[in-house]
Amino acid sequence: MLIWVAALHCEASPVIDFYRLRKSQGEKAFDLYLGDDMACIVSGVGKLASAAASAWMAARYRDEASLAWINIGTAGAARHDIGAIFLLDKIVDGDTAKCYFPAPTSIPLLPGSACLTLSQPSRDYREDCLFDMEASGFISSALRFSSAELIRCIKVVSDNRHAETGRNREQVSALIRQHIDSIEQQTTDLLALNNEVAALEFSAESWQRLLALAHFTQTQQNRLRVLWRYLHNRDLGPEALLQELSTRRTAASMIDMLERISHGNSETL
């Protein structure tokens, strides 16, 4: 399952139209659009809204073998032209300074850029990155349910020092729609990878041994499954991991250890 997360309907509509997604009736928390192997949720503006929508989607599709994610939307920039498209390779939360690194496994077909996520709109553009209001909330939430290879953020420049089109909904949709072929390439690549990950299964025995080490809540089990599959398929043997985990006393400390191993491993990709 591929999950699209967009802040606004005008950002989501090019994806909804291209993949002919159908609006789900009866949903009250968010507007949701569904297809055979993907869904698109409109979160509302801001990193908290994006994080909440992503977590809501993960809960809705908790029985899926693997989840892939794309945050599609617009951003501000200092030196890039209106309509330029980027695949984010670094996301910085403007409030906490915490950094996130999406990790595509193939050679990106889109230019990369860093992005600073702000809590409030700003025209104080920096030269070295894009600006948005959702990316850090989206990725911090998505990383709880999927590994970094399955998470991408695609941003199209809508505002710069010379022009602002981000308030014009029709123009925003047009800016994203003009790149739909490039977006489709990213989608195809990510769906293929997600299918490969979904097919990777670790042994039921090692999973049960892992769960027996501590009491894991359902949320912790969800995160544990993501980390365990990720590390298990990075040639990190389950026996070594189980032995290391057995030195920890709580579920939280075990997950923290796996998070640190996973982060160190992803930096070498």
Contact 182, 84 (CB under 8 A): no
- The answer on 213 and 108 residing in a single domain is no
Among 116, 14, 115, 2, which Cα is nearest to 54's? 2
- The answer on 135 and 8 residing in a single domain is yes
- The answer on 158 and 62 residing in a single domain is yes
- Predicted confidence band of residue 234 (pLDDT cuts 50, 70, 90): low
Report how far residue 254's alpha carbon sits from residue 214's, in angstroms, rounded to the nearest whole number: 9
- The answer on 218 and 164 residing in a single domain is no
Residue 14: domain span: 2-198
- The answer on 262 and 180 residing in a single domain is no
Task: Name the strand (E) or helix (H) holding 265.
Answer: helix 251-266
- The answer on 179 and 220 residing in a single domain is no
The confidence score (pLDDT) of residue 167 equals 87
- The answer on 48 and 124 residing in a single domain is yes
Report how far residue 139's alpha carbon sits from residue 69's, in angstroms, rounded to the nearest whole number: 9
- The answer on 234 and 188 residing in a single domain is no
The confidence score (pLDDT) of residue 267 equals 44
The confidence score (pLDDT) of residue 49 equals 98
How big is the chain by its Cα radius of gyration, in Å? 19
The confidence score (pLDDT) of residue 162 equals 87
The confidence score (pLDDT) of residue 268 equals 41
CA 227 to chain centroid: 15
Last residue of a domain, one of 198, 214, 246: 198
Write the CATH number for 28.
Answer: 3.40.50.1580
The confidence score (pLDDT) of residue 130 equals 96
Report how far residue 73's alpha carbon sits from residue 64's, in angstroms, rounded to the nearest whole number: 25
- Interacting residues of 236 by C-beta distance below 8 A, sequence separation 6+: 261, 265
> What DSSP designation does 148 have?
G
Last residue of a domain, one of 198, 230, 246: 198
- pLDDT reading at 145 higher than 60: yes
Does residue 63 sit in helix, strand or coil? Answer: coil
- pLDDT reading at 200 higher than 50: yes
Least confident of 8-22, 71-85, 98-112: 98-112
- The answer on 213 and 83 residing in a single domain is no
The predicted-structure confidence for 98-124, as pLDDT tens digits, reads as follows 999 987 766 667 999 999 999 988 877
- The answer on 220 and 189 residing in a single domain is no
- pLDDT reading at 266 higher than 60: no
Contact 115, 90 (CB under 8 A): yes
Average pLDDT of the segment spanning 85-94:
96
Percentage of the residues of the chain whose pLDDT score is greater than 90: 57
User: pTM score, two decimals?
Assistant: 0.79
- The answer on 237 and 119 residing in a single domain is no
- The answer on 132 and 76 residing in a single domain is yes
- Predicted confidence band of residue 158 (pLDDT cuts 50, 70, 90): very high
Report how far residue 75's alpha carbon sits from residue 122's, in angstroms, rounded to the nearest whole number: 11
The confidence score (pLDDT) of residue 128 equals 80
Tokens of 148: 């970094």
Average pLDDT of the segment spanning 153-178:
94
Average pLDDT of the segment spanning 76-96:
95
- pLDDT reading at 44 higher than 90: yes
Percentage of the residues of the chain whose pLDDT score is greater than 70: 92
The confidence score (pLDDT) of residue 6 equals 98
Last residue of a domain, one of 138, 169, 198: 198
- Predicted confidence band of residue 238 (pLDDT cuts 50, 70, 90): confident
Q: Mean pLDDT score of the chain, rounded to an integer?
A: 88
- The total domain count for the chain is 2
